[in-house]
Structure 1
Amino acid sequence: MADKPTSRRRSASTDTADASRGERPITRAAVLETALRIVDQDGVDALSMRRLAEAVRRDPMVIYRHVPNKAAVLDGVAELVFDQLRVDATDIDWMSQLRTVARDFRKLALDHPRVVTLLVTRPLATPLGLRPQAVLRPLEDILALLMRAGFAGPDALHIYRALFGFLYGHVLNELQEIVENPEETDDLLRLGLYRLPIGEFPLLRALAPALATYDGAAELERGLDILLTGLAANLPRHNGADEH
C-alpha cells in the first residue's frame, strides 16, 4: 500500500513533464481509444498495459493513473462502442425503433468484430449500478420507449432482455467462421459437412445449401420479425396505446 502515493506522484510528475515539453496531456478517453484500436487490429489477447503505454508513448504509470488495471481497460473499450449506440426514446413506433437499434448494434459488431466478446461479457460481469453510463443508456432509453408505448415496467424490461439476448447470440453466430473451404462450390465440401456420418446427421447435411448461403442481415430481420411480433402479441399494454 505504501507505494501508491509514490505512484501518484510519479504519474503527476510525468504529466507535468509532458506539458513542459509541449505534449498534449493523456486523458482517459485517449487511453481507451488507443486500446480500442489495438483490439480492433490484433484482438483482446494482444492488449496489455505495457503495449498500451507504448502506443500512447507515455510511462506506464501515466496509464495506471487513468485506468487501474487491464480489466478496467476492457470495460472502457466496451463502453466506447456502446456509447455509439443511440435509441430514440420518443419514437412513437416502438417496433421500428427497436429494429433500428438492432441494425445499428449489428453494424457496430461488424465494425468491431474483435470487440464483440467484450460487448457481450463485460457489462454482465459488473453489477448494474457500477456499469458505465454509456452501457446503461440504451437500457434506460429502451425502457422509456417501451413504457411510453404502454408497456408496464417489468414487461419493458423483459422486452429489452429478450432483444439483447437475441442480438448477442446473433452477432456471435454471424461472426463465427462457418466456411471451411471458401473456394469450393459444393456446399457439403464448402462447410466441411462431408465429415459427418450420413446416417447420424441427415438434416444438417440436407440443409447445406441454406447454411452455405447464410445472410446475416436477412437472418437479423427474420429473427426480429419472430421476436417483436411475438412480444407484441403476448405482452399487454395499457393507456390505450396503439399497436404498431
Structure 2
Amino acid sequence: MNGTRDGPSSEHSRIGNSPLTRAAVLAAALEIIDHSGVERLSMRRLGKALGRDPMALYRHAVNKAAVLDGVAETVLGQLTVDSSDPDWQHQLRLIARDFRRIAVDHPNVVPLLVTHPLATPLGLRPIGTLRPLERILSLLTRSDFTGSDALHIYRALFGFLYGHVLTELQEIVERPEEPTDLLRLGLHRLPIGEFPLLRGLASDLAAYDGVEELERGLDILLTGLAENVPPPPTAPPPAAITANGDRK
C-alpha cells in the first residue's frame, strides 16, 4: 500500500494542525449533514471530523443550533441574486433555478432552508439567510413595484419553490425493477375501484422531471404575477419648454 496516500486519519491530522476557523467548522458540519443528515450531526462528531476537542468548537459556535444556522447561511450564500437586473421576471427565474440546484446538491440541508426558519421570528434568523430576501426586494422595487407588492411576489415565489423542492426530493419509486409504472410506484396497493385518475396518471408520475416541472410552474407563476401585480406605470418625462414658452 502506498504510504503517502491520504486517509481519514491523515486528513484529520492535517485539519487538526491548522488554525480552527468558523468557516472550517461550518464546512465540516455541512459535509456531515450531506452524508448523514441533520440528526446525525453532533458537536462530538464535528470535533472528531476536525481532529479537535469538541470544546474548542464552542469558540466558533455556542451550540449545535448555532452550527445549523451557520450551515443554512453558508448554503444560502451560494444563491446568486442580481438586484440590478432590469428584467425582474428573468432574474426571478434564474434565482429559482439556482435555489433548486442548491436543494438538489444538498438535500439534507433543505429542512434548514424550508421548515426550520418558520419556527424562528424573522428578526431572529441568521443575518445571512435574510440577504436573499433583501436583494430580491431591492430587485423588485427597482422595477417600480411597491414594497408591499415586492414582498407579495417574494412570498409567492418562495412558497412555490419550497413546495417544489420538497415534492421533487420526496418523489420515491418503490420498486424500480417492476415492469410497469403502476407497480413501480406501488399504486397497485390502492383499493380496487378507487383513485382511477391517480392510477391512470402512473406514467406521468413515474416520468417526473424536476427541471421541467420547475419551468412549467415558473411560467404559470410569473405570468400570473405580471398580470395581477403589475408595477405602476412609469410617469412620462416632463415636456421640454422652448425659448418662447411653448411645450414640445
Specify if TM > 0.5. yes
- State the Cα deviation string for residues 156-185 of structure 1 (Å, max 9, x = none): 001101111111111111011420111223
- State the Cα deviation string for residues 49-97 of structure 1 (Å, max 9, x = none): 1000111111111111211111111111111100110100011111010
Aligned counterpart, 1:216: 210
Q: 1:144 aligns with which of 138, 148, 152?
A: 138
Moved more, 152-161 or 229-238: 229-238
Q: 1:94 aligns with which of 70, 85, 88?
A: 88
Aligned counterpart, 2:170: 176
Q: 1:42 aligns with which of 36, 43, 63?
A: 36
Aligned counterpart, 1:72: 66
Aligned counterpart, 1:118: 112
Determine which structure has the larger helix proportion and give its number.
1
Amino acid at match of 1:181: R
- State the Cα deviation string for residues 134-165 of structure 1 (Å, max 9, x = none): 21111011101111112111110011011111
Distance 1:177 1:55 in 2: 32
Amino acid at match of 2:166: L
Aligned counterpart, 2:155: 161
TM-score after normalising by structure 2:
0.85
Alignment of 1:195-234 (within 5 A): 195-234=189-228
Alignment of 1:4-15 (within 5 A): none
Distance 1:152 1:177 in 2: 38
Distance 1:196 1:54 in 2: 47
Moved more, 202-211 or 115-124: 115-124
8 Å CA contact retained: 1:143, 1:157:
yes
Amino acid at match of 2:228: N
Moved more, 66-75 or 157-166: 66-75
Distance 1:205 1:58 in 2: 54
8 Å CA contact retained: 1:78, 1:122:
no
Runs of 4+ off more than 3 Å: none
Are positions 1:53 and 2:47 aligned together?
Answer: yes
TM-score after normalising by structure 1:
0.86
- State the Cα deviation string for residues 109-137 of structure 1 (Å, max 9, x = none): 11111111111123333222232232111
Distance 1:162 1:79 in 2: 22
> Aligned with 1:175: secondary structure?
helix
The Cα RMSD (Å) is 1.5
Distance 1:76 1:64 in 2: 13
Amino acid at match of 1:206: G
Alignment of 1:177-192 (within 5 A): 177-192=171-186
8 Å CA contact retained: 1:123, 1:135:
no
Distance 2:19 2:121 in 1: 32
Distance 1:207 1:91 in 2: 40
Aligned length: 220
Aligned counterpart, 1:135: 129
Are positions 1:62 and 2:33 aligned together?
Answer: no
- Segments of 5+ residues of structure 1 without an aligned counterpart are 1-21
**How far off its partner does 1:236 sit?**
3.2
> Aligned with 2:170: secondary structure?
coil
